[in-house]
Chains A and B, each alone.
Chain A
Amino acid sequence: MTEQNQTQLPQDKPLEIAGRVYQSGLLVGTGKYRDLAETAEAIEASGAEIVTVAVRRTNIGQNTDEPNLLDVISPDRYTILPNTAGCMNAKDAVRTCKLARELLDGHDLVKLEILGEDKTLYPNMPETLVAAEELVKDGFQVMVYCSDDPLLARRLEEIGCIAIMPLGAPIGSGLGIQNRYSIRQIIENANVPVLVDAGVGTASDATIAMELGCDGVLMNTAIAQARDPIRMARAMKLAIEAGRHAHLAGRMPRRAYASASSPIDGTFF
């Protein structure tokens, strides 16, 4: 299926994060894939330019010849976005970010994610605010996973976070965008990019997020755990584009009742 698109549309404002311009509003994670080959292929198919990774202990004394994720997902080609996944407090998250910066030769873009509990993986906002403040002071460019509270989102922007990333539903739940009203409020208030991070289950969910006016969507499980991750990655790429176009186009008003598409004038019966 190749797109034969002859129609020229006005240029869209591209997504800009930390001074870099991106063509795709799709950001993808690298967890839960079968192997590194599948990871690489899915990310290629997704067209994503920003890719999240986790920071963990090196396995000591095991298979030191094993290929490294960053050999497959090269920092020369992709913007690597290290996350603080698994951290439950500000101290661990700040430590993780510092290790990530060292790991990536001074690259200071991070995804701050501090979780509050295992069941919902909801963000721990008090700790997130503390960590955000400390990281911004230390020169990090912080993209922040957060709750969908519009006032907290505004606070994170005031602290200096460069992207606000509320959840649409719990991480890995695939429930879709459960909080359209709150996401809309966050977008209306924000002067930095807003991305839905977590909750997307299938392509239409990503489209809904973009139709709401999000600048992008970050996802992992929806692609990695699809029956065919490569094809789902492509579906997500198109879904993000479709949602963006629909947002720019402006949807028709909703009506309670029908409105005929064919005119009544000229009927011969």
Chain B
Amino acid sequence: MNVLLNGEPHTLSGSRTLQALIDELGLAGKRLAVEVNEDIVPRSQHHDYRLQDGDRIEIVHAIGGG
């Protein structure tokens, strides 16, 4: 299954929940926010949210800025 993760092509072996992807990326427990196809997926739904082929996923965090 192929998705676009933060603008880059990313291959997932089989069906995944959003939380499984976050765990796989080593980002579990980090303060972040996720959008799939330009819609926010609230943290409370990460465990149940099933990713689809072709999904555009954005995972963001806070960095220094003015």
A54 located at the interface, meaning its Cβ lies under 8 Å from any Cβ of chain B in the complex: yes
Cross-interface CB contact of A55 among B8, B27, B42, B60, cutoff 8 Å: B60
Q: Which of B6-62 contact A (CB under 8 A)?
A: 6-8, 10, 25-27, 30-35, 38, 40, 42-43, 58-62
Q: Does A60 contact B (CB under 8 A)?
A: yes
Which residues of B are found within 8 Å of A54, using beta-carbon distances? 62-66
Counting contact residues on chain B (CB < 8 A from A), the size range is 20 to 34
Q: B59 — which chain A residues lie within 8 A by C-beta?
A: 57-58, 60
Q: Does B43 lie within 8 Å of A69, measured CB to CB?
A: no
A39 contact set on B, CB distance < 8 A: 64
Does A56 sit within 8 A of B, measured CB to CB? yes
Q: A98-B40, A99-B40, A102-B40 are in contact. Are A58 and B27 (CB under 8 A)?
A: yes
Known: A58-B6, A58-B32. A53 touches B62 (CB 8 A): yes
Among candidates B10, B42, B58, B66, residue contacting A57 with C-beta atoms closer than 8 Å = B58
Residue of A nearest to B22 (CB): A58
Neighbour of B66 across the interface among A31, A68, A69, CB < 8 A: A31
Supposing A64-B26, A102-B33 touch, asked if A53 and B63 sit within 8 A by C-beta, the answer is yes
Contact A68 B65 (CB under 8 A): no
Residues on B with C-beta less than 8 A from A172 are: 66
* Interface footprint category on A: 35 or more
How far, in angstroms, from A98 to B43 measured CA to CA in the complex?
13
Instruction: Specify which chain A residues have a CB less than 8 angstroms from the CB of B6 in the assembled complex.
Output: 57-58, 60
A155 lies within 8 A of chain B by Cβ? no
Task: Give, as a whole number of angstroms, the nearest-CB distance from A160 to chain B.
Answer: 22
Given A60-B5, A61-B25, A98-B40: A103 and B31 interface contact (C-beta under 8 Å): yes
Contact of B27 with A64 in the complex, beta carbons under 8 Å: yes
A183 contacts the other chain (Cβ, under 8 Å)? no
- A170 part of interface (Cβ distance < 8 Å): no
**B25: A residues at CB distance < 8 A:** 60-61, 64
A61 to B27, CA, bound (A): 9
Q: Which of A32, A68, A103, A219 has the most CB of B within 10 A?
A: A103
- Contact between B40 and A68, CB atoms less than 8 A apart: no
A30 to B34, CA, bound (A): 22
CB distance from A98 to the nearest CB of B (A): 5
Q: A84: nearest residue on chain B (CB-CB)? A: B65
Given that A60-B8, A68-B31 are contacting pairs, would A32 and B64 also be in contact in the complex, using a CB cutoff of 8 Å? yes
Q: A29-B66, A58-B6 are in contact. List 4 more A-B contacts (CB 8 A).
A: A30-B65, A32-B66, A54-B63, A219-B66
In the complex, the 4 A-B pairs of residues with the closest C-beta atoms, listed nearest first: A54-B65, A29-B66, A220-B66, A64-B26
Mind listing 11 A-B residue pairs with CB under 8 Å? A53-B64, A54-B64, A54-B66, A60-B59, A68-B61, A85-B65, A98-B40, A102-B33, A102-B42, A198-B66, A218-B66
Binding site for A on B (CB under 8 A): 5-8, 10, 25-27, 30-35, 38, 40, 42-43, 58-66
